[in-house]
């Protein structure tokens, strides 16, 4: 296996010959392509190089963290994710990845803290709240999950996903009327959701009219 420095040197040479030079976006894309191909060492080298070219791009640190995590280097990954959210607090996936690292390290309480931090850093985005809810669901804490899904719909009222996820949990806990309301809200936002329509048809009382599909722009 090539060392980290050897991979980086090889990438610098290859990208320079190819004319990439200081084009950090193209170097980052090389890393993404390598990551998707399962070539994590190569991906790590490319992301490292992209950061050298442009050290203020939070998503590059996130990508590097993903490569490190795939290689089993959890502490390095956590350091990279920390830099990613410091530069770009809106990278919700970075908080989720941090939580996964902490879970792998056997620190679920710290994982939850990371997810909650993501929600606090993005108070008007549903996804980080949904991530906290998913954490509680995985541990069988339905009440806490329900609370966070309700917060998700409040944080981003136009999130079809938030209303759908909230509706699913309400249906699971027997609150069918409320679940129907959430499914309807989800469809009003995005009418093309066959799975939501199916759930709504399953739960809606006989004779209740489903929302009319809205024309698409």
pLDDT, tens digit, for every residue of 182-214?
A: 999 999 999 999 999 999 998 876 434 445 555
| Residue 80 included in any domain | yes
Q: Are residues 141 and 163 in the same domain?
A: yes
Q: Are residues 16 and 84 in the same domain?
A: no
Q: Kindly report the CA angle at 44 between 43 and 46, in degrees rounded to 5?
A: 65
| Residue 110 included in any domain | yes
| Residue 159 included in any domain | yes
| Residue 157 included in any domain | yes
| Residue 155 included in any domain | yes
Domain count, the chain: 3
Closest by Cα among 144, 68, 152 to 118? 152
Q: Are residues 51 and 83 in the same domain?
A: no
* Gap between the Cα atoms of 185 and 38, Å rounded: 40
| Residue 217 included in any domain | yes
Q: Are residues 153 and 195 in the same domain?
A: yes
Q: Are residues 156 and 217 in the same domain?
A: yes
Q: Are residues 114 and 135 in the same domain?
A: no
| Residue 62 included in any domain | no
Q: Contact, 96 vs 66, CB < 8 A? A: no
| Residue 60 included in any domain | no
pLDDT digits (tens, 9 = 90+) for 56-108: 999 999 999 999 999 999 999 999 999 999 999 999 999 999 999 999 999 99
Specify the pTM.
0.83
Q: What is the pLDDT of residue 24?
A: 85
CATH number of domain containing 143: 1.25.40.10
Q: Are residues 166 and 207 in the same domain?
A: yes
* Gap between the Cα atoms of 159 and 54, Å rounded: 33
Q: Contact, 210 vs 180, CB < 8 A? A: no
Q: Which residues constitute the domain of residue 102?
A: 67-122
Q: Are residues 129 and 217 in the same domain?
A: yes
Q: Are residues 130 and 201 in the same domain?
A: yes
């Amino acid at each position: 296996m090539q060392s980290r420095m050897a991979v980086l040197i090889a990438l610098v040479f290859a990208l320079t010959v190819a004319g990439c030079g200081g084009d950090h976006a193209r170097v980052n894309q090389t890393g993404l392509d390598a990551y998707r191909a399962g070539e994590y060492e190569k991906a790590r080298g490319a992301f490292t190089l992209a950061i050298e070219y442009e050290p203020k791009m939070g998503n590059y640190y996130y990508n590097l963290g993903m490569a490190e995590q795939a290689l089993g280097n959890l502490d390095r990954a956590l350091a990279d994710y920390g830099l990613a959210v410091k530069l770009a607090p809106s990278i919700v996936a970075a908080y989720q990845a941090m939580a996964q690292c902490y879970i792998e390290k056997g620190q679920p309480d710290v994982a939850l803290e990371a997810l909650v931090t993501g929600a606090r850093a993005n108070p008007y985005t549903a996804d980080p709240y949904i991530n906290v809810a998913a954490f509680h669901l995985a541990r069988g804490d339905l009440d806490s999950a329900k609370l966070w899904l309700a917060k998700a719909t409040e944080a981003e009222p136009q999130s079809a996903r938030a209303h759908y996820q909230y509706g699913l949990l309400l249906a699971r806990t027997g609150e069918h009327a409320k679940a129907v309301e959430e499914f309807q809200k989800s469809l009003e936002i995005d009418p093309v959701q066959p799975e939501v329509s199916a759930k709504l048809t399953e739960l809606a009382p006989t004779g209740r009219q489903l929302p009319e599909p809205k024309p698409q722009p």
